[in-house]
């Protein structure tokens, strides 16, 4: 399962909404038999990286989304969270 573009508005950050959403995505994926959840986030999204890593995601790669991106020092990190199989 791929998680795309999770965002919480600035005025609602710090309330635990991102963590709750992340956990719900993992629960949803497990319940439907997915083996992993993958996502991408940019190098500048440090808070997002910390959140994902605290929820069990691990960094599995890095890439630049276009040939011009290295000029702006913007890199995308790829993350993966492996999910346990059925008990």
Residue extents of the structural domains in the chain? 13-82
pTM, entire model: 0.84
**Architecture category of domain 13-82 in CATH:** 3-Layer(aba) Sandwich (3.40)
Q: What is the pLDDT of residues 39-54, one digit of tens each?
A: 999 988 999 999 999 9
Exposure of 31 in the CB half-sphere (CA atoms within 13 A): 6
pLDDT at 60 over 80: yes
Q: What is the pLDDT of residues 20-38, one digit of tens each?
A: 999 999 999 999 999 999 9
């Amino acid at each position: 399962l791929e998680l795309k573009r999770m965002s919480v508005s600035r005025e609602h950050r710090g309330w635990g909404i991102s963590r709750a959403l992340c956990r719900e995505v993992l629960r949803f994926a497990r319940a439907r038999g997915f083996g992993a959840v993958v996502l991408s986030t940019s190098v500048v999204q440090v808070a997002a990286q910390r959140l994902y890593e605290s929820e069990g995601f691990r960094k599995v790669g890095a890439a630049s989304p276009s040939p011009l991106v290295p000029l702006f020092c913007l890199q995308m990190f790829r993350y993966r969270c492996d999910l346990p199989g059925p008990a």
